[in-house]
Structures are given as C-alpha cells and as structure tokens.
Amino acid sequence: MTANNSQDARIWERLEQGRKLKAARGGYAGYGSPPFGQTSVNGELVQDPQEQQVIEFIRRHHKSGKSLQQIADWLNQQNFQTKRGQQWKRISVKRVLDRLYGKTPRISSIPFNYRESL
C-alpha cells in the first residue's frame, strides 16, 4: 500500500466515524435524499409538514383497505408528487408504509418446505 492509499484510507475512516457519530446523535449525515416526510435543515432532519400530510393520507387509505395501487392513483389524481417531483407508484407508497410501520416479511422468503406445511 502506498502512502497516498494509506492516507486515503485514514481520511475515509475518519469521515465514516464522523457520519456514524452524527447519526447516533440523531443528525443527518447527508447520504442521499432525506426520507419522504422529512427534510434537512442545517444538517438536521426535521419534519416536512406538506409531506407529513401526504403520509397521513397514505396511512388513512391503507387502514381503510385500499391497495397500494389505489392509493398511488388517488395521490396522483390529487396532484401530489413524490419528493423528486414524480408521480406516485405502488412501490413508492409501499416504501412510505414500510418506513411508517416497519417492513413486513414476504411469503416468498419462507422456505419452500415450510410453505407446504401451512
């Protein structure tokens, strides 16, 4: 390993430690866009009121039994856009719900022999 590679590795390690420390303290380390419903203000994540309203609409429609596609269609009809200004798709709605409720395991991840015994 050359001196430059060694120095690069030390710099990378310090940066990574700083990001982890900031995240542990509740800060936003700046990887990609903040999650839908939040925005970054002075390096801290804060709730975005307009996006929080959309999350509440998604939650209500989901609780009422609407499908992910029906929710996406409704959001598009109401002219709501994703964080990147795109139309809603069912996967976008699913990701919001996953962040809201936590991911749920898929049946396809269950071993085949276990599914047969159900």
Q: Are 33 and 83 in contact (CB under 8 A)?
A: yes
Q: Which amino acid is at 20?
A: K
69: pLDDT strictly greater than 90: yes
pLDDT of residue 42: 81
Q: Any idea what the Cα angle at residue 49 is, between residues 90 and 23, rounded to 5°?
A: 85
pLDDT of residue 115: 44
* Cα 43 to Cα 2, 34, 46, 58, distances in angstroms: 35, 11, 10, 27
Question: When comparing pLDDT for 27 and 51, which is higher?
Answer: 51
For the ranges 12-21, 55-64, 74-83, 90-99, which has the lowest average pLDDT?
12-21
Q: What average pLDDT does the chain have? A: 85
pLDDT of residue 3: 67
pLDDT of residue 34: 86
Pair of tokens at residue 1: 């390993």
pTM for the structure as a whole: 0.67
- pLDDT tens digits for 31-66? 778 889 999 888 788 999 999 999 999 999 999 999
95: pLDDT strictly greater than 50: yes
